[in-house]
Structure formats: C-alpha cells, structure tokens
Amino acid sequence: MSLPTKIANVDFEHCIFNASGPSCATLEELDIIGKSGAAAIMTKSCTLKPREGNPEPRYTGLPLGSINSMGLPNLGYKKYVEMVPLLKKHGKPVVMSVSGLCLADNIEMLRAINDTDADLVELNLSCPNVVGKPQIGYDFEQTDEVLTKVMKLVRKPLGVKLPPYFDFAHYKQIAELLNKHKVKFVTCINSIGNALYIDPDKEAPVIKPKGGFGGLGGKYVKPTALANVHKFAELLDPSIDIIGVGGINNGTDVFEFILAGAKAVQLGTVFQEEGPETFARIEKEFNELMKKKGYASIEEIRGKLKAL
Ligand code: SIN
C-alpha cells in the first residue's frame, strides 16, 4: 500500500523524499535517491557557478540531530540542468533546488530550468551558511522583490524553502507575501540558523566555518518545524501546498507533520545518518500507523490537528 499525494498538482507515489541537504549534489548521489524508496528526487541547492562550500569540518552529527555549515557545495546549475533527463529515468518527480547568491543569478538559473523536464522548483530563501549573505526569508522587502521578479518568468511550479519563524507577526507578514505572489508550495523549515554546539573536551565548537555557527537540524528542531507547518496551514491560501521538514525520524513523525497541515515531508539529518534505506523504513512505519488508525488517505488527516 502506498498513500499518494500531490504537490502543485504533480503526482507523488507517497509523501516522503529527501531534503535539499545531504547526499544530493552529484549524479551518483542523486541516482542512489532515485533507486531508493524516496517518492521524488530533490537536488542540492545550486548556484550559478560551482562551489566547494565551506572549510571542513562542516557537518557533525549530534545526540539529537546535526549541525552544519556546508556553504552550498554544488556543481553549478548547468550540471543539474544536464542531469534532469538522466534523473527522470527513475520515473519519479525531479525537484530542482535553486539558491542564487543574488537575484540576477536566480533569474538566470530559473530561465534555464524552464526549458528542462524538471517537475518542480524549490527556491531556497533560507540558507544560513553563506558568509556575508543573510537569509533572504528574514528580509520581507527583499523576499517581495525576489518573488516579484521570479514569478514573472518562471514556467515551472515554484515553491520556496523558508527559514523557521518564531513570531506570529512574522508568520503573518511572510504569509501575506506568499499569498500575494501565488507561490505553488512552501517548504518549511530550513535548519535553525546560527546555532553553536560546543565540545567541552576540546573546548571548541564542533564545526569550523563561521566560528562554529551553523544550522541546527534533527530532533532538536521538530517542534519548531511542526509549528511553522501548522501556522502556514492556517495563514496560506489553500492552493499553496506545504512540505514539512525538520526532525522526522519515523512514521509517527510523518503522521504529526501531515496532521499539522503538510502534504509531503522531506528527510535531512536522518538520511545523512542512516542512508537511503531510511525512505522505505519511514514510509513503511507511516503506512502501518495509518492502517492501525483506520485511515486510508493522507487527505483524511491532513491539517486535522484537534484542539484541546
Ligand atoms: C548548506 O549547504 O549550507 C545547507 C543548505 C541550506 O541550509 O540551505
């Protein structure tokens, strides 16, 4: 049994796939995702030119998740554009993640992606790890400007990957913009930016870039991710689909994200730590839980979180 879903009208066999994050930067890594139980293939956020990313160590697994400051290591968008036909052979949706270092870069990349067979585009407005480039999603004027420009030219269903928000006023402001620009989907949350994890034995941070400041992921962030999904489910136009990401480790976590309002979920830290088998394991656990509870479709539970 698979429980299908749709994102921006694109059919997904089930609701679980990879986050633009670990192990999705090379053709070899993307083929592994294609052969795995993931419902779609998401590429690493690309930039105009290839990037080596930040100095190592730049990712560390932690007791309840991970901290990273990868700095967008990727092959440059042209390579991902070339890969699309190869990735499509896996027979599942291909989602291209784009993270230009400026608006002109995003425009150039999105124009090129228009002419590919990619199914969806996720515009990353929330990478916390590029030195000197604040997260666009926290700057509402800049977000408005970016969306005004890109929505005019994009011919693919475009969604945005958002940073976590923590204040009801900020949710309201960003939701108004997303509704105004009619984005097709929202992915929340990116890692909680600029966390600091200290190794008391070494008396030092655990990652090197930015003096040890990096994006926090995994179980630490799940309640924040659920809160973002649920608040956006309340504030966004119902035509905008929500993809949840942050601390999903098992089928019950998936269930909670769907209850909060997500139509699909992405796996980051757990994929990095467990490998590609994680997709089939978590889908099986989710299906078993749904069956046990007597639910036969995602829509039966989506957004149906009960009030106390
Ligand atoms: C990174 O490459 O630094 C992580 C990507 C992101 O957080 O958007």
Mean pLDDT along residues 298-302 = 98
Mean pLDDT along residues 73-99 = 98
Residues 274-295 have pLDDT tens digits of: 999 999 999 999 999 999 999 9
Mean pLDDT along residues 21-32 = 98
Beta bridge pairs of residue 218: 65
Mean pLDDT along residues 5-34 = 98
Ligand 1 atom 5, closest CA: 127
34 phi/psi in degrees, rounded to 5:
-60, -40
For ligand 1, say whether the CB of 127 is within 6 Å of any of its atoms: yes
For ligand 1, say whether the CB of 190 is within 6 Å of any of its atoms: yes
| CA atoms of 198 and 217, how far apart (whole Å) | 16
Indicate the domain borders of the chain.
5-53+74-194+218-300
Q: Residue 193 class from Cβ within 10 Å (0-12 exposed, 13-18 middle, 19+ buried)? A: buried
For ligand 1, say whether the CB of 70 is within 6 Å of any of its atoms: yes
Two structure tokens written together for 243: 């993809």
- Using the 8-state DSSP alphabet, how is residue 200 labeled? T
For ligand 1, say whether the CB of 136 is within 6 Å of any of its atoms: no
* C-alpha separations of 145 from 107, 110, 131, 142, 157 in Å: 12, 15, 22, 5, 19
Residues 206-231 have pLDDT tens digits of: 999 999 999 999 999 999 999 999 99
Report which of residues 1 and 208 the model is more confident about: 208
| CA atoms of 173 and 180, how far apart (whole Å) | 11
For residue 173, name the pLDDT band (cuts at 50, 70, 90): very high
Span from the CA of 94 to the centroid of ligand 1 (angstroms): 19
Cβ atoms of 239 and 175 within 8 Å: the answer is no
Which stretches of 182-276 are DSSP H helices? Answer: 222-235, 251-260, 269-274
Q: Verify cis geometry, omega within 30 degrees of 0, for the bond prior to 242.
A: no
Mean pLDDT along residues 126-132 = 96
Span from the CA of 74 to the centroid of ligand 1 (angstroms): 10
Q: To which H or E segment does residue 217 belong?
A: strand 213-218
| CA atoms of 184 and 191, how far apart (whole Å) | 21
pLDDT of 1 reads: 74
Which stretches of 52-201 are DSSP H helices? Answer: 77-88, 103-114, 140-153, 168-181
Ligand 1 atom 6, closest CA: 127
Mean pLDDT along residues 232-251 = 98
State which ligand 1 atom lies nearest to the alpha carbon of 70: 3
Helices 77-88 & 103-114 angle (0-180, nearest 10): 30
For ligand 1, say whether the CB of 18 is within 6 Å of any of its atoms: no
Is 239 labeled as catalytic in the residue annotation?
A: no
Pick the CATH number of 5-53+74-194+218-300 from 3.20.20.70, 3.30.360.10, 3.60.20.10, 3.30.70.1140: 3.20.20.70
Is 127 labeled as catalytic in the residue annotation?
A: yes
| CA atoms of 238 and 191, how far apart (whole Å) | 25
Mean pLDDT along residues 108-122 = 98
| CA atoms of 233 and 253, how far apart (whole Å) | 17
| CA atoms of 84 and 126, how far apart (whole Å) | 24
Residues 31-67 have pLDDT tens digits of: 999 999 999 999 999 999 999 999 999 999 999 999 9
Catalytic residue selected from 15, 46, 127, 188: 127
Instruction: Report percent pLDDT > 90 for the chain.
Output: 99
Two structure tokens written together for 39: 């419902």
| CA atoms of 256 and 157, how far apart (whole Å) | 26
Instruction: Tell me the pLDDT of the chain averaged across its residues.
Output: 98
Q: In what order do the strands lie in the sheet with 16-18?
A: 16-18, 264-267, 241-245, 185-188, 158-162, 120-124, 94-98, 41-42
Q: State the Cα angle at 164 between 285 and 279, rounded to 5°.
A: 20
Instruction: Report percent pLDDT > 70 for the chain.
Output: 100
Single pTM value for the model: 0.98
For residue 2, name the pLDDT band (cuts at 50, 70, 90): confident
For ligand 1, say whether the CB of 74 is within 6 Å of any of its atoms: no
Span from the CA of 120 to the centroid of ligand 1 (angstroms): 19
